[in-house]
Structure 1
Amino acid sequence: MFGRFKLDLKILKELDFTLLVAMITTVLFGCFNIYLATKGDVGFSEVKRQLIWLAISLVAIYVVLLIDYVVLQNYAFLFYLLGILLLIVTIFAGSIVNGAQGWIRIGGFSMQPSELAKIGIIVMMAKKIQDMDGKVNDIKNFFILAAYIIVPVILIVKEPDMGMTMVCFFIVLGIFFIAGLDLRVIGGGLLAIFLAIVLVWNSGLIQDYQKKRITSFMDPEADELNSGLQLTQSMIGIGSGGFLGTGVNLATDAPGGYVSQNVPEKDTDFIFAIVGESWGTVGAIFLLTLYGVIVYRTLVISRTSKDIFGKIICVGLAAYFLFAIFQNMGMTIGLMPITGITLPLVSYGGSSLLTTMMSLGLILNIGMRRKKINF
């Protein structure tokens, strides 16, 4: 009865345990920092919810591993279409968070459809490029791929969610580059994106307060009590961490650190400020090392994948991780504009954790089945 829910040992031996351990360690480190960020406000409640989502995510990964990833090609369009439909629902009936109508709430559960749409874009591009035998420089093939990309991205811009729009752009850029798209086309695409950003910036879709939040990184002290507050306080907290950090106090009744008390969104968008303050440079290096292992193993699995479909999925997800990590950490120290991009596997958020873990489960699946198993 339970045979269909068991992984064959010959396949299980191919599991990339290094990647698995690295991602679980990253999530647990994230839970530790979520507690440090919120213990003065809500005690253990947020950490408990995040750990529950971790358990759900591990079960989801196991289910993902049971199914040969090649089968996903048959359902790629349905998965892609589901993401688009949820984005449409979000635009008309979504909840507004930080100025973007990007969430769907059902009872006590909230989800961000753009997270699902992001994976849908990757899977759909992988499927189409596989069908095209990798011939992305064929003009017809290129415009087919562009059409599949533009539809969900326009809906994400409409929310407006500039952070996820940037994520999708770098995912697509990474996929096209690895697929061998002519560099002149990529250059033209970059110019088109720049012009599109200018158009959207002046279209009225982005409100003035959102513009100030995005551009505040250039001079946060110019408006440090309003648009520059988050960044200014974040840099103070990270700076106080020094090399070894200020240390941690696990007692629930003890007040949180400087970041916990002064930085908005310290458990989500600005969780890296908690890491920098509490653990210092050592903690940042530790976290970057974990991310480095995840991205490196993902690229190794991409290189050894048995087909184009698996390769493109891995490349797309690696591009997501690289950009999201750089963008999130950069915005907490004034190197990048402030957007709603969370730190993968570390920031608080159930739907984000679940989709990210399932994505990594798909990478593990591709790695497990990179070669034919002889029975």
Structure 2
Amino acid sequence: MFRLLKLDMKLIKEIDKTILISLILLILYGTFNIYLCTKGQFGLSFVKQQLGWFAISLVALYIFVAVDYKIIFNYVPILYWGVVVLLILTMVPGIGIVVNGARGWIRLGVGNLQPSEFAKFVIILMLGKKLDEMDGKINDVKNFFTLAFYCIVPVIFIVIQPDMGMSMVCFFIVLGIFYTMGFDTRIIAGGLACLVLGIVIVWNSGLIETYQKARFTAFLNPSIDDASTYHLNQSLIAIGSGGLLGSSPSLAQDGVTTYAAQNVPEVQTDFIFAAIADQWGFLGAIVLLMLYGFLIYKMISVARTSKDIFGSVICVGIVSYFLFAILQNIGMTIGLLPITGITLPLVSYGGSSLLTTVISIALVINVGMRRKKIHF
């Protein structure tokens, strides 16, 4: 076991250091902003928890970089069905707990675990494994239904919670993978139509509470001054307050905090972008987007040069997740898209999200460092 976790110097030299640096900078940038927007009310509480998950994530990063991803290939079914079991456990009274209207969390002794965060990760792995075994023949009818089955099973339990945001994340991850693998675009269009139909069905099923619907549609008419538009309007005011260079928040724990820290709900999670724009202004937001852009560019480069389908699908799936999550999260904070519970990858507060995203990027690094044969 320990031999599997040992990294040879020749392999270490193949690690894409720029991906690693971008990853760490994004996490530190996010953690610093979490501190600035929560210190006034919660002190170091959120930062300590985030740094704890960061330490755990670094351990996971090493493990998932050190172990050859072709070995992980053999254990994908165990990981996949293990996460499905966790999703089922969220519905068991006494185990699953409700957070923000969704029964999507499992209570642990040291905190809460969100299995849906792991679901998006194992969907990518399972699709990669199956497509590799199918030699990429995605348009074969039998192959398509096999892939669809592995996509639908975890998503069903996520919809039941209900967590529409994560359901959308999973859908667009699958869409990105199917498109890059050459899936018939007419069927993709049909899939988008099915997504719309599915949203309509869930919308009218009673699973979604009235207040959740109002919050989701608030972006269509932000001028209405009620509880449904409060999050959005406070976010817009905070972003506008930042201007070009930001509101210059105090670094002291008992120092002055910005508008976002005082008025935007869920500022450390769903609305962390509003805090960043408020605290550091337009330039701070641009720095964030540049880091994301560079990381995504490097992951696309790894996908193009991967030595097998499994590696390429891993990279494409992670890129699809980043693109959708970033566009959706920022879009909702500025009123262009509906408000969902989608966080900013690596930047928002959240242990489960941070851990799974770091593991995902670790696999991208893994694929990149083994894309050519190393002679020992």
Q: Taking structure 1 as the reference length, what is the TM-score of the superposition?
A: 0.98
* CA deviations over 1:9-47 (Å, ceiling 9, x no partner): 111111010000001000000011001110101212211
CA distance in 2, matches of 1:80, 1:2: 24
- By how many angstroms is 1:202 displaced? 1.0
CA distance in 2, matches of 1:195, 1:351: 30
Match of 2:90 in 1: 90
CA distance in 2, matches of 1:174, 1:227: 32
Provide structure 2 residue ranges, at least 5 long, that are not aligned to the other structure.
Answer: none
CA distance in 2, matches of 1:106, 1:43: 23
CA distance in 2, matches of 1:4, 1:78: 19
CA distance in 2, matches of 1:145, 1:9: 38
Match of 1:110 in 2: 112
Match of 2:349 in 1: 348
Match of 2:37 in 1: 37
The answer to whether structure 1 residue 329 and structure 2 residue 330 are counterparts is: yes
* CA deviations over 1:84-140 (Å, ceiling 9, x no partner): 100000122311111111111112321100011111110000000001000000011
* CA deviations over 1:252-303 (Å, ceiling 9, x no partner): 1123211111111001110111101011110111000010111111111110
For 1:32, the aligned partner's letter is F
The answer to whether structure 1 residue 272 and structure 2 residue 249 are counterparts is: no
From 124, 127, 130, give the equivalent of 1:128.
130
Using the TM superposition, name which of 251-260 and 306-315 deviates more. 251-260
Q: 1:3 to 1:125 in 2, by over 3 A?
A: closer
Match of 1:251 in 2: 252
Match of 1:6 in 2: 6
CA distance in 2, matches of 1:341, 1:173: 17
Query: What is the aligned-residue identity percentage?
Result: 59
List, as ranges, runs of 4+ consecutive aligned residues in structure 1 with deviation greater than 6 Å.
Answer: none
CA distance in 1, matches of 2:51, 2:100: 25
> How many corresponding residue pairs?
374
* CA deviations over 1:125-182 (Å, ceiling 9, x no partner): 0000001000000011001111111111111000000000000010000000001001
The answer to whether structure 1 residue 175 and structure 2 residue 154 are counterparts is: no
CA distance in 2, matches of 1:341, 1:91: 21
Match of 2:67 in 1: 67
Using the TM superposition, name which of 90-99 and 359-368 deviates more. 90-99
- By how many angstroms is 1:4 displaced? 5.2
Q: 1:254 to 1:115 in 2, by over 3 A?
A: same
CA distance in 2, matches of 1:231, 1:87: 30
CA RMSD in angstroms, aligned pairs only: 1.2
Provide structure 1 residue ranges, at least 5 long, that are not aligned to the other structure.
Answer: none
Indicate if the aligned counterparts of 2:249 and 2:256 stay in contact, CA closer than 8 A.
no
CA distance in 2, matches of 1:337, 1:183: 26
- By how many angstroms is 1:3 displaced? 5.7
CA distance in 1, matches of 2:101, 2:272: 20
CA distance in 1, matches of 2:33, 2:48: 13
Match of 1:304 in 2: 305
For 2:303, the aligned partner's letter is S
Q: 1:72 to 1:208 in 2, by over 3 A?
A: same
Match of 1:19 in 2: 19
Q: Taking structure 2 as the reference length, what is the TM-score of the superposition?
A: 0.97
- By how many angstroms is 1:350 displaced? 1.3
Match of 2:147 in 1: 145
- By how many angstroms is 1:374 displaced? 1.1
CA distance in 2, matches of 1:190, 1:284: 31
TM alignment of 1:41-60, pairs within 5 A: 41-60=41-60
CA distance in 2, matches of 1:49, 1:98: 19
- By how many angstroms is 1:2 displaced? 6.6
For 1:186, the aligned partner's letter is I
The answer to whether structure 1 residue 236 and structure 2 residue 237 are counterparts is: yes
- By how many angstroms is 1:55 displaced? 1.6
Match of 1:100 in 2: 102
CA distance in 2, matches of 1:62, 1:285: 30
Indicate if the aligned counterparts of 2:37 and 2:275 stay in contact, CA closer than 8 A.
yes
SS in 2 for 1:81: helix
CA distance in 1, matches of 2:180, 2:299: 14
For 2:150, the aligned partner's letter is Y
CA distance in 1, matches of 2:157, 2:4: 39
CA distance in 1, matches of 2:236, 2:141: 47
For 1:188, the aligned partner's letter is G
